[in-house]
Each structure stands twice: as C-alpha cells, then as structure tokens.
C-alpha cells in the first residue's frame, strides 16, 4: 500500500521527498489540500509547484478559483504551460479563459493542441450561465456491440478521460442512444452483452437550458453526470455534479445578495471600491422610496403639528408593515427559486398570505392600538392607530405576494427588486393610512 501522509508531513514530502517518493505518493493527496498548503505558505509555493508533475499541476489549477487560475499557470515556462493545459479539462480551460484579457486568452489558446482548442472555442460560444457554458467535452463514448469484459479492456487502455461514471452509447453521427453506468458494468458478469445493461431512456439536458434549471434536474435525479445534447439529440458534452454544487451556491448567493440589496458579484472580501459600487446604486434607489414616503408625511404636517404624538407612533405603523411585507416576500421569492410556487398552487398561496395578513393585522393591530390608547389616554387615537396598522399588515402581505410574482412574470429576478417595491408600498401606504385617518378624526384626538 502507498505511504500515509498527514497534514504535518505533507509539506516535508512536497519540498524534500525523493523524486520516487513524491511520484509514488502524490496521487494519493487531494489537489485541494495541496492548494490549501500553497495558499497558507506562500513563501514555499514556488518551490512546491516546481516539483509537482504536470497532471497534478493541472488538477491544482482546476481547483483554484477561476480568477486566480492564471496566476498559477503563468509561473511556468511556455512548454510546461502547454503540458499542463493538455491535462486540463475543456470546461476548466474555458473558465480560465473567461477571466483573461483578449491577448492573454489568445496566448493560452495558441498553446493548446488543435482538437482541444476547437473544443474550448466551441464552449466559449455558449452563454456562461447555460448548460453549454458549464459542460465539459471530455466523456466516454462507446458502441454497444461488445461485452462487459471488452468494455473493461477498452477502459483499461483509455485512462485519460476523467468522467468515467457513465459511458454513453452513440451512433456514428454522435446521436445519443443510451447510457451505461459504471456500477452496472462492475456488477455484471464479464460475458454480459453491453446492450442488455444499456438504458435507452437517457435523461438529457439541452445546451441552452439555464444553469438554475440544470441544477434543479441534478437535484431531482441525483445523477453524478448528465449528458448535454442539441435539438437533434447529438451529444455535445457532459455536466458533472461538482460543478452543479458550485452553481447551486452561486444561485443562492445571488438570491441572498439581491434580497439584501447588494450586487450578486460582491464578496465579503471585495475591495472598498467594489463594495461601494455594488451598494450605492441600491441606496440611491431606496432614497427615492424614502423621499416618496417623506412626501406623504409632508402632506399631513398640519395634522402632526396639532397632534405631535402622531410623529412618535407613525414609524411603528410603517416599520411593522415593512417587516411583515419582507417576511411574505422572503417566502414567495424562495418558493419561486425552489420551484415550489406553481400555477397550480398560486391561488391557494395568495389566499394564505391574505389570511396571514389578516391574522397578524389583528394581533399586532390590537397590541399597537392598546399601547397608543394608553400612551395618549385617548381611545380614538388608539383606534386610528390600530386600524391603520391592521390595514397596512394586509397590504404588506399582498404586496409581498404580488410583487415578486409579477416581477417573475416580467422575467426580472424577484429577489432583486421586490424589497424596494414592498417597502415603498408599506411606507407610503402606512403613512397615508395612519395620518389620513388621524386627519379625518382630528377633532377627537387633539
């Protein structure tokens, strides 16, 4: 058995192990752990990288964040770069090139052999967020006329391809005809004809499907690998589950960021400039909302000047409406993302949101009414506060339902803009209802 390596003696092996020791052991270490070590110990990084074989370097470049892949690659001579690129998968090279300036990209493409270059050029033409943009062209095609033993012998001779979990049966025009899982191959007797373990009912992905849709399919079926095809069922590539894990996290980050009013690209370790540019546009949009709400208040300045307590209570009415609206839109936006809000249950969910609005309106409205009544020793003041609160809670929940649903219909990301619209409704209507009602009953609350 190969040598056991702990975290403590890994650096020792990488820096000072004999070439034979290194060669024997290196493929038992996950490249992500070597990459960690390089990040944690930058002074030894160059020495470590220089001692690694090309295929491991290719793995490490693939593990690295897209925007930093080139940093590692460009440390090597042109010749070495050629060898590393040769070991990398086409989707990873596409991701790398996607981050580069035009001349650097050209430079990388020129270092690739003709077939690989053609693959990458094709991949670069797909939308980066579509199935074509995340697939790789490395997968195993077979013809189904052989036995299991023949296939095993074929695989033993073709150890290059990484994505061996399923083998795809194609005809001579590359039209996808079936799939065989590696599990079936290893659990079937050697003389089993491949045809009898080939599944013709392949679940495929169209090259132009959005990556979020692709992620839903992986979640539904739990496959490790799914084939990407064109309209005529020609096999174009495969998508691996680990790329889909990244997609899921990316889509979730996008939703969370949009709900919080920041750009999807911002990261906690973005620079001051990036963060400021991510946030200031949303603050300016929100400023319009705030001014609209303030304009509503200013219509009632005469009323407020007569009953100053209105100024004390009014932020409660709008604030609580905003909270209820945010709750409602959070559930609706997440339901849309997960595909759980559908045409079939839309009406039921709308009625439920209305119901929650009425119930919360009764509870919060009553509490607020009693508080306001006690504060001003005036039942009419309490009643006005309670009614405005009750109505604003209902409006909040309706806005929290309708705004994301309508945005989704208009193909705008509901996570992106719902928050601003919902708080506009709850602020403007909250002030208007509360101060309007107060104005109507002014003689009784002065």
Which one, 58 or 112, has the nearer CB to its own copies?
Answer: 58
Which one, 116 or 184, has the nearer CB to its own copies?
Answer: 184
Which one, 110 or 187, has the nearer CB to its own copies?
Answer: 187
Which one, 18 or 271, has the nearer CB to its own copies?
Answer: 271
Which one, 111 or 434, has the nearer CB to its own copies?
Answer: 434
Q: Which of 190, 200, 204, 197 is nearest to 233 (CA)?
A: 204
**CB 4, min distance to its own copies, A:** 5
**CB 228, min distance to its own copies, A:** 17
**CB 319, min distance to its own copies, A:** 5
Which one, 108 or 237, has the nearer CB to its own copies?
Answer: 237
Buried b / exposed e over 351-390, threshold 16 CB at 10 Å, is eebeebbeebbeebbeebbeebbeebebebbbbbbbbbbb
Handedness of CA 320, 322, 323, 327 (dihedral sign): positive
Question: What helix, strand, coil percent values describe the chain, rounded to 5?
Answer: 70, 10, 25
**CB 203, min distance to its own copies, A:** 6
**CB 124, min distance to its own copies, A:** 23
**CB 195, min distance to its own copies, A:** 5
Which one, 28 or 50, has the nearer CB to its own copies?
Answer: 28
Cα gap 404→329, rounded to integer Å: 7
**Which DSSP string do the residues of 121-146 spell out, in sequence order?**
HHHHHS-TTBHHHH-BS--EEE-TTS
How far is the CA of 28 from the CAs of 154, 161, 235, 249, 273, in angstroms?
A: 25, 18, 33, 28, 42
26 and 52 Cβ atoms separated by less than 8 Å: yes
**CB 82, min distance to its own copies, A:** 25
Which one, 112 or 324, has the nearer CB to its own copies?
Answer: 324
**CB 52, min distance to its own copies, A:** 16
Handedness of CA 192, 195, 199, 204 (dihedral sign): positive
Cα gap 12→35, rounded to integer Å: 15
Cα gap 87→113, rounded to integer Å: 11
Half-sphere exposure of 143 (CA within 13 A, CB side): 4
Cα gap 31→239, rounded to integer Å: 21
């Amino acid at each position: 058995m190969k040598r056991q390596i702990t975290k403590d003696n890994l650096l020792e092996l990488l820096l000072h192990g004999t070439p034979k020791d290194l060669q024997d052991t290196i493929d038992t270490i996950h490249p992500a752990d070597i990459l960690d070590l390089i990040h944690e110990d930058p002074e030894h990084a160059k020495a470590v990288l220089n001692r690694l074989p090309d295929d491991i370097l290719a793995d490490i470049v693939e593990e690295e964040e897209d925007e930093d892949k080139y940093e590692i690659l460009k440390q090597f001579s042109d010749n070495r770069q050629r060898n590393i690129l040769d070991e990398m998968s086409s989707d990873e090279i596409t991701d790398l090139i996607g981050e580069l300036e035009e001349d650097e990209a050209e430079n990388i493409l020129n270092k690739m052999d003709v077939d690989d270059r053609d693959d990458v050029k094709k991949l670069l033409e797909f939308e980066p967020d579509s199935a074509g943009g995340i697939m790789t062209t490395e997968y195993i095609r077979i013809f189904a006329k052989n036995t299991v033993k023949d296939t095993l012998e074929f695989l033993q001779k073709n150890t290059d391809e990484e994505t061996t979990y399923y083998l795809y049966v194609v005809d001579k025009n590359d039209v996808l005809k079936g799939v065989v899982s590696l599990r079936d191959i290893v659990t079937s007797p050697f003389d089993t004809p491949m045809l009898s373990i080939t599944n013709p009912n392949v679940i495929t992905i169209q090259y132009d499907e959005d990556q979020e849709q692709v992620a839903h399919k992986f979640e539904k079926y739990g496959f490790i690998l799914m084939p990407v095809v064109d309209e005529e069922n020609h096999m174009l590539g495969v998508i691996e589950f680990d790329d889909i894990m990244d997609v899921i996290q990316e889509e979730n980050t996008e939703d969370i960021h949009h709900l919080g009013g920041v750009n999807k690209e911002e990261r906690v370790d973005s620079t001051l400039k990036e963060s400021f540019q991510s946030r200031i546009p949303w603050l300016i949009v929100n400023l319009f909302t705030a001014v609209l709400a303030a304009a509503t208040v200013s219509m009632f300045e005469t009323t407020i000047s007569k009953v100053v307590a209105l100024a004390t209570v009014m932020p409660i009415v709008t604030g609580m409406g905003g909270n209820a609206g945010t709750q409602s839109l959070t559930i609706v936006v997440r339901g849309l993302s997960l595909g759980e809000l559908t045409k079939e249950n839309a009406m039921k969910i709308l009625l439920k949101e209305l119901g929650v609005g009425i119930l919360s309106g009764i509870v919060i409205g009553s509490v607020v009414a009693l508080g306001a009544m006690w504060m001003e020793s005036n039942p009419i003041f309490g009643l006005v506060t309670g009614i405005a609160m009750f109505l604003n809670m209902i409006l909040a929940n309706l806005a929290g339902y309708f705004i994301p649903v309508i945005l989704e219909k208009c193909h705008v990301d509901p996570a992106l803009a719902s928050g601003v619209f919902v708080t506009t409704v709850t602020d403007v209507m909250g002030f208007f209802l509360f101060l309007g009602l107060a104005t109507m009953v002014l003689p009784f609350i002065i």
